[in-house]
Amino acid sequence: MILEWLGKVGNFSLTMLIVTLYGLLVGAFIERVIAKVQGRIGIPYSQPFINILKNFFKRTAVSHGYMFYLGPVFRIAGGIGTLAFIPVIYGSEMFSNFSMAGDLFLVIYFMFFGQLGMALGAGESGHPYSAIGIARGLSQMTAYEVPFALAVIAIVIQYDTLSITEIVAAQQGGWQHWTLFTNWVATLAAMLAFLGMTGYSPFDIFLAPQEIPIGPPTEFHSAYLSLLQTNRALFGATKLILFMNLFFGGATGWIELMIKTLLIYMVAIVVGVAFPRFRVDQGIRFFFKIPTLIGIMSIIYVQLVLIS
């Protein structure tokens, strides 16, 4: 029993390592794509790794209190917790993590958890711009969670299960079984929510480096920042894997996973390099209008067309 459990933890650690490394590489690749659009060469692929090392090797660090320490810890706990309950590779015992019946609920909860922990930590730092960044970030998150939750409810009704593994299993047997093609309305709502989730333009007001110095992590530095950067890569890749599992048929191998997640990410990048930034009130209005309507329509679509 204990050996089996230890083996599972070992497998999960390996998954976490691969996903984090992949997330950092994808981050560098995306930076280079954006640089090419702007006519530049861009950062080397090793840059995200060097940045994390540099911050780790800083000699000094200032604390603002206990909650300030715990902010990045909660954040990375949210990232690890989200990954822990997502089956990464379909059909692989080794990379199915702690997936179980009803893990979709847990995953959605954990996605929220990290943000709230970060809000507490950044609030403790006492920097006014952190508070503004958090107010903007949380309000935008509340807005994009609505279409995402509606899309998830739609596919839960469609496949009649709360287990991500079963949702992936239902999409096997050819691309025409993917949620993208069987329930394109829900996928559209979720992909619009995905634009807000990734934090690229036009929904990057909460990070706004020039107006409110980098937003919530303004005061985080040294090892705290390297923890946050690691989480950014891990959590970003985890969200991509979740979207791939729910809407794009999952993956049966690492190569398929990488191709699919990269293409999903490119949606946010193509929109990001082409559009300027929304103000926070514009962003919230946008999410509450079209994507929410599409989300409601997806449930009606499932109920009227797919089930009956």
Partner 1 sequence: MIKTLGTEDTLENAGLSAEEQQLFSNARPRAYEPYPIKAVEDFANWARANSLWILAFGTGCGAIELRPLMTARFDANRFGVAGRPTPRQSSVFVIGGYASVKTLKRIIRSYEQMQGPKFVIALGICPVNGGMYFDSYNTVNRFDQYLPVDLYITGCMPRPEVLVAGIMELQKKIKAGRCDGANRYVENFDWYKANQKKVIKNWDMPDYNW
Residues at the site binding partner 1, with contacts judged by CB under 8 A: 31, 35, 38-44, 46-47, 50-51, 53-55, 57-62, 65, 209-210, 213-214, 217-222, 225
Q: Give 53 or 259: the residue with its C-beta nearer to partner 1.
A: 53
CB of 125 to partner 1, least distance (A): 9
Q: Alpha-carbon torsion 204, 205, 209, 215, what sign? A: negative
Q: Give 217 or 295: the residue with its C-beta nearer to partner 1.
A: 217
- ∠ CA 153-77-66 to the nearest 5 degrees? 130
Q: Which of 121, 123, 143, 139 is nearest to 228 (CA)?
A: 121
Q: Is 175 in contact with 249 (CB distance < 8 Å)?
A: yes
Q: Give 226 or 238: the residue with its C-beta nearer to partner 1.
A: 226
Report the C-alpha gap between 252 and 1 in whole angstroms: 28
CB of 43 to partner 1, least distance (A): 5
CB of 208 to partner 1, least distance (A): 9
Q: Which of 147, 105, 128, 93 is nearest to 216 (CA)?
A: 128
Report the C-alpha gap between 107 and 164 in whole angstroms: 10
Q: Give 225 or 268: the residue with its C-beta nearer to partner 1.
A: 225
Q: Alpha-carbon torsion 105, 171, 234, 37, what sign? A: negative
CB of 128 to partner 1, least distance (A): 12
CB of 30 to partner 1, least distance (A): 13
| DSSP summary character for residue 277 | P
Q: Give 60 or 308: the residue with its C-beta nearer to partner 1.
A: 60
